[in-house]
Amino acid sequence: MSAEVETLPGPLPGGDRLKEIGAAAARVLIPVLLALIMGGIILLILGKDPLAYYGYVAKRGLLTWGGLQETFTRMAPLLLIASGLIVAFRAGIWNLGGDGQFLLGAVITSAVAPLLVGSLPDLIVLPFCMLLSIATGALWSVVPAILKARYGINEIITSMMMSFLGTSFANVLIKLFFWDPATTVPQTRTLPVDDRLPRLFGSTVHAGVLIALAVIILVHLMMTRTAFGLKLQVVGANPAAAVHAGLNVAWLTVATFAISAGLIGLAGSVEILGVFGTVRADWNPAYGLLVVPLVFLARFNGYGTIGFVFFFSALMIGGDSAARRVGVPQHFVLVLVALLLIFLAVVEYLDHLRRKKVR
């Protein structure tokens, strides 16, 4: 992988430790600043005011109570997807099938939850749907997991293939099996608002945000403080050494895929139970690949990822309003994400050259 796994600084002298912290902060902040600057230059070329655009983004996503609530709400699925990616990336596995896993988790939840409401208590319905979505996501990762573990086939190709199949299969399920007969458009039954995840402190932010925060913190602790997490990282760093050490690499590979995909499936469930209550055919927010640069910017650190997901959520919420007001395409935010990826790669490459010279 191009990015190194973030680890806590060792017992370095005070000056060296400050330099190391400063270098880590620079590797994180420089790509963000360069992406914003280049995005501003592109806006100028298009004849738009970049300060106005970024001002609207900040105002809508951060500086109004309504926008801030939307930002926190948007964080829930992104944090859960990031949790799954952290598990996979730290283990040296590229799970790029997030969109399919997310959608299937969402569809299964939206199909099952309305049927269980009324026959089971809400305290059972919501957790059951979440567990079912975790199992669905994990199950959808079995094919790339086995192909990787048994035959060494590149998981980038197979996971993306399964993602494409998953998004298509989700639409098939809606149109053939889960279509609500009371609607004229293909969608699942709608979960009543009162039966969804509870709101926090009288706001529009649902409890899924707390679930997502708890999950990403637990994932970070698992990967950095437990023997199981250490085993996964050894497999990712050097599979040959892991085999020599007696680790069951095939089993750990399958387990990594299952945990990663299960958490992404949970993201789909939380989005339905907290926000939409239903899934329409052809709905796909495509969050999977959008979260990848945020996880890399945080250097696979769960705590750092929370900050970047908050920043990106505000950018997404504010970007829609800013695009309309300034007169640029709504998907200009994706241009900023692309620039972020480019500058992240450049900064990582320059840092790699710097480290080689030091050695």
pLDDT of residue 8: 42
Scan for tokens 């749907």, then name that residue: 129
pLDDT value at residue 14: 54
pLDDT in tens, 202-240: 899 999 999 999 999 999 999 999 999 999 999 888 888
Residue 141 falls inside a structural domain: yes
Least confident range of 139-143, 262-266, 285-289, 345-349: 345-349
Residue 335 contacts residue 293 (beta carbons within 8 Å)? no
**pLDDT tens digits for 283-297?**
999 898 889 989 988
pLDDT at 15: 60
- Any idea which residue has 């480290």 for tokens? 355
> What are the pLDDT digits (tens) for 119-128?
888 789 999 9
pLDDT surpasses 70 at 13: no
Residues 320-329: pLDDT tens digits?
A: 889 889 998 8
Is residue 212 domain-resident?
yes
Chain-centroid distance, C-alpha 53: 25
The pLDDT assigned to 359 comes to 64
Residue 159, domain member (yes or no): yes
Residue 61 counted as domain residue: no
State the total domains in the chain. 1
Q: Say if 50 falls within a structural domain.
A: no
36 within some domain: no
First to last CA, the chain: 20
Domain for residue 181, yes or no? yes
pLDDT at 136: 97
Is residue 6 scored above 50 in pLDDT?
no
d(CA 80, CA 215): 7
Give the pLDDT of residue 16: 66
Average pLDDT value for residue range 11-31: 70
What is the structure's pLDDT at 352?
76
Which pLDDT value is given to residue 74? 96
DSSP type of residue 195: G
Residue 177 lies in a domain: yes
Torsion on CA atoms 318, 336, 263, 186, rounded to nearest 10: 70
Give SS3 for 151: helix
Residue ranges in the chain assigned as alpha helix (H): 14-45, 50-61, 65-90, 98-116, 122-140, 142-151, 155-176, 208-225, 227-237, 239-244, 249-271, 287-297, 302-326, 332-358
Using a CB cutoff of 8 Å and minimum separation of 24, what contacts does 171-174 make? Answer: 171/281, 171/282, 173/107, 173/111, 174/107, 174/279, 174/280, 174/281
- Structural domain including 280 reads 76-295
Q: pLDDT tens, 52-99? A: 999 999 999 888 999 999 999 999 999 999 999 999 999 999 999 999
Alpha-carbon separation of residue 26 from 32, 150, 345 (angstroms): 10, 40, 14
pLDDT band, very low/low/confident/very high, at 105 (cuts 50, 70, 90): very high
Encode pLDDT of 236-260 as tens digits.
888 888 888 889 999 999 999 999 9
Instruction: State residue 40's pLDDT score.
Output: 94
Q: How much is the mean pLDDT over the chain?
A: 90
112-116, 160-164, 263-267, 355-359: which range is least confident on average?
Answer: 355-359
Percent of the chain having pLDDT more than 90? 69
CA-CA distance, 60 to 321, in Å (whole number)? Answer: 7
Report the distance separating Cα 46 and Cα 26, nearest Å.
30
The CB density around residue 282, as the number of other CB atoms within 10 Å, is 12
Q: At 2, which amino acid appears?
A: S
